[in-house]
């Protein structure tokens, strides 16, 4: 069955028999192997997929699509000189044209920037691209080049504007920190020497320092204070409520002083 062949291909790939792995996976993804759509499954295949694997149509499509990208990755790797150092992520996502133009995780000026990827580049990605990279990373957990690609996706999942939005800030920071951590580990723990990667790590590191040191936005701070006060709206105006209200007022005052001192410090620095 096609699932057995896909696992066999991975086994050959892990054993260093790349050509054989590609041959088997190509066969597994052919029309005689893994059907292109869920509707093309035979009754026997569908029973196994549904009952034994616990898949549905969505998972069937996702895993087939991921296997297709895995095959593309294998072919790209095989075409590279043996033992050559890599200086970019695998070009497994492109615009689908001939010749294909792979996605580049850069801004409109063609440069790497925290939280910015040009719209023209993002259009080269298909729906579910992030999930595909995550799955490939799970299948090949020691593949550092895939790990780099995961870092690029993490950086593409947020934007600097989200950092001033109380609702989106935490998620944006999570993605920013994830990208920073991945690039840090690749450069310092795994000693990857790709110049592009080292530049990205440095840019993100410097940006992270400004974000972590920066105070919360006024809108974010006011929301936190308001949320805290709203918890006590139904309470009677007892001593505890008065203390909370007073504390909130003090917090706003301290925040304003902090902002003023920070502004003066920056002006003196300038």
pLDDT of residue 246: 39
Please write down the HEC assignment for all residues of 123-149: CCCCCCHHHHHHHHHHHCCCCHHHHHH
% of the chain residues with pLDDT over 70:
79
Range of weakest confidence among 70-84, 154-168, 211-225, 233-247? 233-247
% of the chain residues with pLDDT over 90:
72
Please, which residues bridge with residue 116 across strands? 113
Asked whether the bond before 99 is cis by omega within 30 degrees of 0, the reply is: yes
Query: How far is it, in rounded angstroms, from Cα 230 to Cα 210?
Result: 32
pLDDT digits (tens, 9 = 90+) for 132-147: 999 999 999 999 999 9
pLDDT of residue 264: 47
Cβ-contact 25, 9 below 8 angstroms: yes
pLDDT of residue 211: 84
Range of weakest confidence among 77-86, 98-107, 127-136, 209-218? 209-218
Q: What is the residue whose two structure tokens read 């450069």?
A: 187
Q: Does pLDDT of 210 surpass 60? A: yes
Query: How far is it, in rounded angstroms, from Cα 34 to Cα 37?
Result: 9
pLDDT of residue 142: 93
Range of weakest confidence among 14-18, 139-143, 163-167, 219-223? 219-223
- Per-range mean pLDDT, top range of 31-35, 73-77, 95-99, 253-257: 73-77
Token output for 250: 């003090």
pLDDT of residue 1: 77
Band (265; pLDDT cuts 50, 70, 90): low
Nearest to 114 by CA among 208, 185, 197: 208
pLDDT of residue 245: 41
Q: Does pLDDT of 121 surpass 60? A: yes
Distance of alpha carbon 213 from the chain centroid: 24
Token output for 203: 């840019």
pLDDT of residue 251: 45
Mean pLDDT, the chain, rounded, equals 85
pLDDT digits (tens, 9 = 90+) for 242-257: 333 434 444 444 444 4
Band (187; pLDDT cuts 50, 70, 90): very high
Mean pLDDT, rounded, for 185-203? 96
Q: Does pLDDT of 47 surpass 90? A: yes
Please write down the HEC assignment for all residues of 99-120: CCCECCCCCCCCCCECCECCHH
Nearest to 183 by CA among 83, 114, 98, 238: 114
Q: Show me where the domains of the chain are located.
A: 1-82, 117-214, 218-269
Q: Residue 9: count other Cβ atoms within 10 Å of its Cβ.
A: 25
pLDDT of residue 32: 81
DSSP per-residue codes, the chain: -HHHHHHHHHHHHHTT-HHHHHHHHHHHTSTTSS-SSGGG--HHHHHIIIIIS---HHHHHHHHHHHHHHHHHHHHHHHSPTTPPP-S-----B-S-SS--B-----TTSS-BTTB--HHHHTTSPTTHHHHHHHHHHHSTT-HHHHHHHHHHHHHT--GGGGG-TTTHHHHHHHHHHHHHHHHIIIIIS----HHHHHHHHHHHHHHHHHHHSPPPHHHHHHHHHHHHHTTTTS-S-HHHHHHHHHHHHHHHHHHHHHHHHHHHHHHH-
């Amino acid at each position: 069955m096609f699932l057995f062949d896909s696992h066999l291909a991975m086994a050959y790939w892990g054993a260093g028999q790349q050509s054989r792995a590609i041959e088997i996976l190509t066969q597994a993804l052919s029309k005689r192997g893994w059907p292109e759509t869920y509707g093309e499954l035979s009754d026997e295949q569908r029973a196994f997929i549904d009952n034994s694997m616990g898949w549905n149509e969505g998972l069937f499509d996702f895993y087939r699509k991921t296997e297709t990208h895995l095959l593309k990755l294998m072919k790209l790797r095989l075409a590279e000189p043996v033992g050559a150092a890599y200086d970019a992520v695998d070009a497994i996502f492109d615009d689908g044209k001939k010749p294909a133009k792979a996605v580049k995780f850069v801004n409109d000026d063609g440069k790497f920037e925290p939280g910015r990827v040009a719209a023209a580049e993002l259009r080269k990605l298909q729906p579910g691209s992030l999930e595909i990279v995550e799955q490939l990373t799970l299948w090949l957990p020691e593949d550092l080049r895939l790990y780099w690609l995961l870092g690029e996706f993490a950086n593409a999942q947020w934007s600097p504007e989200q950092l001033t939005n109380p609702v989106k800030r935490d998620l944006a920071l999570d993605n920013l920190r994830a990208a920073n951590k991945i690039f840090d580990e690749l450069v310092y723990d795994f000693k990857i020497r790709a110049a592009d990667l080292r530049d990205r790590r440095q840019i993100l590191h410097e940006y992270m320092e400004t974000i972590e040191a920066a105070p919360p936005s006024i809108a974010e701070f006011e929301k936190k204070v308001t949320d805290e006060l709203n918890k006590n709206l139904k309470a009677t105006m007892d001593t505890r409520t008065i203390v909370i209200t007073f504390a909130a007022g003090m917090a706003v005052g301290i925040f304003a002083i902090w902002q003023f001192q920070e502004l003066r410090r920056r002006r003196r620095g300038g």
